[in-house]
Amino acid sequence: MSTRGRVVLVGGGPGAADLITMRGFRALMSADVVITDRLGPTMLLDDLPPEIEVIDVGKRPGAHTATQEEINALLIDHATRGRKVVRLKGGDGFLFGRGGEEVAACHEHGIPVEVVPGVSSALAAPAAGGIPVTHRGLADGALVVHGPQPIAPKAWGLLADGTTTLVLLMAIGNLQGHVADALAAGVDPRCPAAIIERASMPDERVTRTCLWTLVLTAATAEVRAPAVVVLGGVAHAAALEPKVAHAS
């Protein structure tokens, strides 16, 4: 009877290799098999010891390498054979990463799972672009939303109130619909907006505009995923600039 292995769910961070946590890095280097997504610090895979097997299940628009059910089956199969399986994900596996589904599938088969939190692009991308998602006088809270689908009206309501930052993940493909919904919900067309592409990577780019011109600006700049959209006062280019005192 084979010894039961285990699964380590590692959040790899937003992209740069040195933004993975030390715990995540150690798990990666001591794995028997790594099942990896396409986002996150995939450049680290080139430095793995040759005996570590790497399986790419990265999901790409229109060309999914593996279904979620197939990924779950891979985790269970390798762990059941007594292997230490590292599931490497971009960002944090529990934030729109379907990590919870994978943990649940393993638990259903009696496989122990360790979760290693990762630096989520929801916070890391704005920070890398010089945008704090909360800032005194501009935003006392932040809401992270899933961008591929229509966003709940209550989220737009929070943005319209002017005290909450809205962070949109995976939203580039549906920008036009999001902008239309935001305007219909009463969000100020002048609401500052920023798009951070390939956060933390050498070719990172920050594009700033406002809600009203967001779609046109993104098209003109040829914005491409992976990108994070930030809406709210914190996205204004002058948000962190010193206030100039005017003489009376």
Q: Which residues contact 44 (CB under 8 A, 6 or more apart)?
A: 12, 17, 20, 25, 28
* Residue 12 and residue 18 in contact, taking contact as beta carbons nearer than 8 Å: no
* Residue 111 and residue 85 in contact, taking contact as beta carbons nearer than 8 Å: no
Helix (H) or strand (E) holding 107: helix 99-108
Q: Which of 37, 84, 89, 92 is catalytic?
A: 37
170 is catalytic: yes
Three-state DSSP state, 84: strand
Q: Which of 84, 89, 92, 170 is catalytic?
A: 170
Q: Which of 29, 32, 59, 188 is catalytic?
A: 59
115, β-bridge pairs:
9
Q: What angle do CA 97, 100, 104 make, to 5 degrees?
A: 145
154 is catalytic: no
- Helix 99-108 with 68-80: angle, nearest 10 deg: 40
Query: How is residue 68 written in tokens?
Result: 């979620």
* Residue 88 and residue 37 in contact, taking contact as beta carbons nearer than 8 Å: yes
Residues belonging to the active site? 37, 59, 170
